[in-house]
Structures are given as C-alpha cells and as structure tokens.
Structure 1
Amino acid sequence: MKKAAQQALQCLDLTSLNEGDTPADIDALCARAQTPFGPVAAVCVWPRFVAQARALLPANIRVAAVANFPAGDLDLARTLADVQEIATAGGDEVDVVLPYRALIKGQTVECAEFLAEVRHATRPLTLKVIIESGELLTNDLIAQGARLALMAGADFVKTSTGKTKVSATPKAAGVILKEIKLSGLGSAGFKASGGIRTVADAQVYLQLFETHLGAAAIGPQRLRFGASALLGDIEAVLSGSQVAAARSVY
C-alpha cells in the first residue's frame, strides 16, 4: 500500500475548485502541496488564482487551471478567454471540458473543431481534456470522447469535472486507457478525477493503468489523479498511521 501511496502522491493534482474559494484557501492548498513525503505533481485551481499559486509554489510543482468548467458548453470564445487568462498568469497546464452534451447530440465535427482550436491556443502548455465520462452513458461515447481528445493532440484524457452525479469509474477508465493504447501515442496520459478519496481508490486506477500502458509509464508525465481529499489518506499511509482516513482542509 505504501508503494501505491507514493505513486499517487507523485501523480496528484491537488485540487480546489469550490465556488467560494478565497485567496486564503489557495494559500492553504499550496502549503499542503509540499508534503513531508515529497511534492504533489500539480495544484489545480480556478484561472483567477493561477498567479497566486505560481508565486507560492516551487517550479517543480506545476500550476493547472480549468477552462470551460464545469459547464462544458460549445462556447469557444469563453473557453479561449479562460485559456488566455491561465497562460498570461503563468499557468503550466489547462484542464478543459469537452462539450460533452454536444457530443451526445452527435455534433462530432463541432466538438473536434472546438478541441483543435483549444489545442492551438494552449500550446506550449499541457492540455488535459475532461470528457465527463459519467455523463457519456455508453462505452462507445466514452471511447469517442477519448478519441476526439487524442486526435486533437491532448496530453491527457481526463475522466470528470467532479461536479456531476457520476465521476471517475474503473469501467470508464478502462475504456479511456484502451483508446490511449490503441492511439499509439506513447506520450499521451490519463487523469482520473472525482470521487477518489483513499489510496485504495487510487490503487484501482494504478492497476488499470499498469495493465493497459505498463508499469514503466506510471509517473506524473502520463498519469494524474485529480483530488482534494486523497492527500490526507496518502499521508496517513506513508506515515504508518493505524487509521488511513481521508481528510481535507477545504
């Protein structure tokens, strides 16, 4: 379990995306990101907090922020404005929501064009495309969403915003990971987000990732976990606490 905890820590996007987030919350988030057991991979915040987070964190912890979040509308102008705000403030990564409702309606071309524009606007930043897998109710739609993201040049395919009834699931993760493997893109990664609160939860995705992409690929360059509460359980496991219970300061 300690190995899984250390891997999860190295791949963690420590996240705070509450509507009422304040600068004090971001101060606390950034302080938590630098643990006695090592740093997280990144913090993930609203665009308005990117400059603050970047100023507080060392260069080895990346700053990610969300665009078109959590709505996932087919609204390119708003999305590009979010991207510009993130880039100008010194962000390293953009987590953008695929217009999943449009995809469900069969607007595949529109979704592909949207993602192509976002990919162009985000370079050279890392781009994670959130396909909102819990709303794509069939494996075929989940696979299609993942393929659209990968064809557009996404660096990561991400499961969920964490704002819908169903977030990350092992079933959806398996579909996405299969598409990443089939794509032949040796640098493409996977991010599981939403509902992952314990090391045991994370271990399921670590095992799935290893099955599809291999143990050597496990690392922050190709695997991320988006979570806020997970860090408490990681620290409990790594410190040898009797009770490894997830906790959150947010």
Structure 2
Amino acid sequence: MATKSNRKCGACLKDIMDNNFITCSIESCKTSFHRDICIGPSLPEDPRNWVCQKCRCNLKKGGDNSNTPVKTSYTSGNVTLRTKNKVIVSNDKSSDAEVSLGTLISEIRLLRQDVSKLTDKVTEMFTSLNECQERLADVEIKTIRSDQRLKLLEVYHTVVQSLLMYCITAWGGASKTHMISIERAQRSVLKVMLGKPFRFPTYLLHQEAAVLTVRQLFRIITLHN
C-alpha cells in the first residue's frame, strides 16, 4: 500500500502517493512533479540537477547570459535577417510612396493639360465675343446712318420734291437747256444728303436714294393728270 506524503504535484496539483517523483533543483522552487505521469520519459541522467519548466523560463529571462553573443561589426545570421526584414519593409513603404508620388504627378500633368485646353477655349470664346461686339458696333453704325438717311430723304420729299412738283406740268416739258440747272440742283442736294463725292454717277445716285429725276417726275404727274 502506497504511503501518502505531504507533497503535491506542481503540474496536476494532486497528492504524490509514492516515491516516483522528481523535484526541481532550484533552491527557491523545490517543486515536486509526478515522474512518469506529468514529466514523461524525457528525464535527465542526473535528477538532482533537473530544473522545472517555470524556473527554466525564469533562468532565460534573468539567468547567466555570459554565452549570449554580443553584436559587433560582424552581425550574426539572426540579426542580419531582422535587419533585412526591416529594410524590406522600409523599401515596401518607400516603393508605395514612390507609386503614390508618381500617380500624383501624372494627375497634376493631366490637370495642367485640362486647364490649358480650358484656357484655349476661354480665349477663343473671348475672341468670338470681341468679333461679335465689333459686328454689333458696325450694325449699330449702319443703323444710325440708315436712320439719318431716312430722315434726310424725308426732308427731301417734304421740301425739295414739293418745290419741284410745283407747277411742273407747266414747265416740265421745257428743253434740256432750260432743265439742266434744275437737275444739277437736285443732284447736288442728293449728294450732300447721302455723302457722295462730286463726280458720283447720276444713275447710281438716283438708284440709291430711290428718287425720281425731274423729267421722270414730270412724266408720272402728267400721266396721272
């Protein structure tokens, strides 16, 4: 029959009933474990120097580190790998930044092209507007001149033609020698009214003014009477 001891297993927390156990060699620990159940077959050759897993971790954190390699100008494999990994991450970030910068530069170039095209269109629009304003100014000038001409022609019909028509049935059939002075007076008045030069053709003058000559006026009035 197995005798009960005061020891408890540090793994399963059950009472250790026999001598089949092993104890941690660290003075501050001295925790016992079931030898076959909780520790397993992988036991050290000298159980007196056995260290439990908890103390083994503590030894790694704060134990003797005299055998730990010191980083010098020549780096070990692990340090080199970590440095490479960091460089690779940095290169990835820098490559992403370069891609973003390239995309931004391309967008800025496209924006400049669009702005240049828009500027050209606005310039063409202003040129067209200036041409339209010049045409409107010409039309306005021509309209003003036409109004002035109409007013002058109205004055002509009211004053000059009324004088020419006075008793024209009596003197309108006179010879050309007697009629030439009246015709010259009529042409002079029309040239002044229309702003024509002294040697402007007579037929064009009457055609533009839409006015009958003295002889044409005599014939029409004579036929109507």
**Bin of the TM-score, shorter chain as denominator length:** under 0.3
TM-score by length of 2: 0.19
Between structures 1 and 2, the one with greater helix share: 2
Q: Which structure has the higher relative contact order (CA within 8 Å, separation 6+)?
A: 1
